Amino acid sequence: MGYARFAGMIATSTVVMFGLMYLNTYALSHIEFSQTRMWMALVRVRSWR
């Protein structure tokens, strides 16, 4: 497995984790960028190691 594929897998899992944090949102108008959620997605992916 090459490093590009590995980086792609990490990037994909980070995006999925970031998206999953919005599952408790009731209305689309409540969705906005959250730096806290971004950091939590990065921490979760990092903890899978």
Q: What is the pLDDT of residue 11?
A: 86
Q: What is the pLDDT of residue 14?
A: 83
Q: What is the pLDDT of residue 45?
A: 67
The whole-model pTM stands at 0.60
Question: Domain span at residue 33?
Answer: 3-47
pLDDT at 10 over 60: yes
Q: What is the pLDDT of residue 33?
A: 81
- Mean per-residue pLDDT of the chain: 79
Please identify which residue in the block is written with the tokens 């960028």: 33
Number of domains into which the chain is organized: 1
Query: What confidence tier does 49 reach under pLDDT thresholds 50, 70, 90?
Result: low
CB atoms within 10 A of CB 41: 20
SS3 22: coil
